[in-house]
Amino acid sequence: MSLWTSGEIAAAIGGTSSADFAVTGVAFDSREVGPGDLFVALKGEATDGHRFLDQAFAQGAAGAIVSAPTDQPHVRVADSFAALEALGRAARARTAAMIVGVTGSVGKTGTKEALAACLDRTWRGQVHRSVKSYNNHTGVPLSLARMPAASRAGVFEMGMNHAGELAHLTTLVRPHVAIVTAIAPAHTEFFAGEEAIADAKGEIFRGLEPGGTAIVPYDSPHRDRLLAAAAPYAGRVVTFGLDRGADVHAIEAVRLESAGSFVTARVGGRELSFTLSQPGDHWVSNALAVLAAVDAVGGDLGLAGLALADLGGLQGRGERFRTAGDVLVIDESYNANPSSMRATLAVLGREPGRRLAILGEMRELGAGSDAYHANLAEPIIAARVERVVLVGEAMAPLAAALEGRVGLVHVASALDALDAARAQLTDGDVVLVKGSNGVGLSRVVAGLRAGLRNET
C-alpha cells in the first residue's frame, strides 16, 4: 500500500504534480533513498539536494519534491523545506494515532525506542517511531511524513540546542503525551544554566493536544520548573522516578548478574514486576517514564513489561558485544554530556574484569567545559577503572586530574585511541567507549568489532 500519492502530496504541500505516482517512503538524504521512496530535494548551506536527483531515481525513487525544474516525476513547490514541514503536518492531521513526544538532555533516544517496543506489543505492526536521532528541524517533519495513516501510535523524539526550537517542533508533533526524561548539562554553550535548559525542554508541553498528559521526572532538581511549564497546557501531569513520591516509581530495583535489573514498580494504583534488560539506575528511570506513557495512551502494561525484558542495546547507546579476544565492549559512542558520562561509568564499575574506558571530549559545554571534564575524575576512580584513553584537546583538564591515579593515555583522535586501546586490551577486559558524536568514536567501536565473536 502507498504511503502517499502524488495528488495527496500536492494537496498537502500546495505544489504542482508533473505525473501520477505513489510512494512507500520518504527521504531527504539521497544515500538513504530506496525503491518506491519520495525524495525531498532540500537546499542547505553546504549542498543542494537537487544535485542528487539522478542518484535518488537510480536507487529507485518513485517521485520527488523539488523547487527547481526536473524531468523526473515530481511535485514542485517554491520552498522544499517548507513543503517537508507541510507534509509532516498533513501526516499528523490525517491519523487517529495516539502520539507521544519525547525530549530530555539524556535518555530520549533510548526511551523513544523502548516505548515504541512496548506499544508494539499492544498494537503489533501499527506503531510508528522516528528512526535514528531524527529529532531536529528536518528530522521531525521527515519522521512525521513517514507515518502511515493507519498507525495506532506514534513516538517522536525531539531535540534542541537553542531556546525556541522545541516550541516549534512540538506544534508539528502535537503529542497526546509529552515526556521529559531528565535535565542535565548539555549544549550549555548556548544556555545560561540548567534552569534555562529546563525551560527550553519544557517547551514540549506547549504542543500538547487538549487534555493531554505531561510526564515529568520527579527526581529532577528542576521538577517544579517543569511542572510549572506543563500546568497551562496539560490536562494531566504524571511524575516518574526512583523516589516513592513519584506517581510512577520503583518500589524495588534489584541488579541482576546478567547486567539488567528486576524492578517492581507502582503505576498509579497498580504494581508491576518485570525484568529490565538494560543496566543502570538511569535505565530504571527511563523504564518508569515508558510505563507512565504506556498507561497514558491505553497500552497494556503487562505486555510492556515483557518488551522491557527483551530490549537490545542500541548501536552507540549501550549496545554490547564481545570481540574474538573475549573483550566486552560497551558502545556508548554516539554522544556524551556530564550526566550521561557519570551514569555509564557507574555501569562500567559494576562489570567484572579489568576495566578500560575510552572517553572522548564533551562538546558545546561553553565556559564550564574545563570543570565539567575535570569533574569526571571521581566517577572514573569510583568505577575502579584501571586504564583510561582520553580523546581530544578538551580532555586536558581530566588528564591533569587523573595523573598518577590511573593508567592514562591522552590522544588527539579516534584513530589514535583505537591504536592505544589495541595495545592495552587483553582477554577478559571490559571497555567503555563514550564521547560526543563529533569525536568519531564510532570508528573505535568499528575497529574493536573486527573479529566479532558473539553478541551479549
State the pLDDT at residue 316. 83
Characterize the bridge pairing of strands 387-391 and 355-360. Answer: parallel
Domain ranges across the chain: 4-82, 95-310, 319-455
Q: Tens-of-pLDDT digits for all 456 residues of the chain?
A: 799 999 999 999 999 999 999 999 999 999 999 999 999 999 988 889 999 999 999 999 999 999 999 999 999 999 999 999 999 999 999 999 999 999 998 889 999 999 999 999 999 999 999 987 789 999 999 999 999 999 999 999 999 888 999 999 999 999 999 999 999 876 567 677 889 999 999 999 999 999 999 999 999 999 999 999 999 999 999 999 999 999 999 999 998 877 789 999 999 889 999 999 998 899 999 999 999 999 999 999 999 999 999 988 778 888 899 998 789 999 999 889 898 899 899 999 999 999 999 999 999 898 899 999 999 999 999 999 999 999 999 999 999 999 999 999 999 999 999 999 999 999 999 999 999 989 999 999 999 988 544 444
CA distances from 177 to 298, 317, 381, 451 (A): 11, 24, 40, 43
Tell me the C-alpha distance between 360 and 343, whole Å.
15
Identify whether the C-beta of residue 67 lies closer than 8 Å to the C-beta of residue 54.
no
Exposure string for 329-356, b = 16+ CB within 10 A, e = fewer: bbbbbbbbbbbbbbbbbbbbbebeebbb
Which percentage of the chain shows pLDDT scores above 90?
84
Evaluate whether 95-310 and 319-455 have a shared fold.
no
CATH number 3.40.1390.10 given to 4-82? yes
Please identify, in words, the CATH class of the domain defined by 95-310. alpha beta
Give backbone dihedrals phi and psi of 315, rounded to 5 degrees, phi first: -60, 125
State the pLDDT at residue 184. 81
Q: Which three cell numbers stand for residue 89?
A: 503536518
**Sign of the dihedral defined by the CA atoms of residues 427, 429, 434, 439, in that order:** negative
Closest by CA position to 391, among listed 375, 368, 414 = 414
Give CATH superfamily name and number for 319-455.
Answer: Mur ligase, C-terminal domain (3.90.190.20)
Global confidence as pTM = 0.83
Tell me the C-alpha distance between 34 and 17, whole Å.
21
